[in-house]
């Protein structure tokens, strides 16, 4: 059993790059192809809900195993493979180097947060209203700003 709801609530928001949504009984996840780690870190700086002292789990090939750091300690580099930001919110935010970088937001993020992170971590500068409506429906929440 996959842990997903029985009504198979997965979806894709038709935007470039596409946002893939998975809804589980306890949380939701939105993920998309992203740009560089430097751009991800710049997006973090723009989020008031992420304090500079928020803990980050980092997997860096230059060190053994995952380590805990603070947002202000992270430097973009080719050796960082994964990092997860754990702010004092109902969601976490991750960046992972795969075939291409991927950003994911997990927990109960608002649609507005997902859209904002998507535009700040990709070359997409705006969302058509239909795409945002699809995201709202896929997350099964109303937008609270």
Give the whole-angstrom CA distance, residue 50 versus residue 38.
16
Any idea where the domains of the chain sit in the sequence? 10-139
pTM: 0.84
Of 38-52, 93-107, 113-127, minimum mean pLDDT range: 38-52
Q: 77-109 pLDDT, tens per residue?
A: 778 899 999 999 999 999 999 999 999 999 999
Determine what percent of the chain is predicted with pLDDT higher than 70: 88
Helix (H, G, I), strand (E, B) or coil at 13: strand
């Amino acid at each position: 059993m996959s842990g997903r709801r029985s009504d198979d609530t997965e979806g894709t928001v038709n935007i470039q790059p596409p946002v893939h949504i998975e809804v589980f009984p306890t949380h939701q996840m939105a993920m998309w192809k992203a740009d560089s780690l430097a751009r991800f870190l710049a997006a973090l700086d723009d989020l008031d809900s992420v304090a500079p002292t928020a803990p980050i789990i980092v997997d860096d090939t230059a060190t053994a195993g995952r380590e805990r750091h603070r947002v202000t300690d992270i430097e973009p580099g080719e050796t960082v493979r994964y990092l997860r930001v754990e702010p004092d919110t109902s969601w976490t935010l991750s960046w992972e180097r795969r075939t291409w970088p991927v950003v994911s937001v997990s927990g109960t993020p608002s649609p507005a947060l997902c859209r904002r992170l998507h535009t700040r971590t990709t070359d997409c500068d705006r969302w058509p209203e239909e795409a945002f409506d699809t995201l709202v429906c896929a997350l099964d929440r109303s937008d609270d700003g």
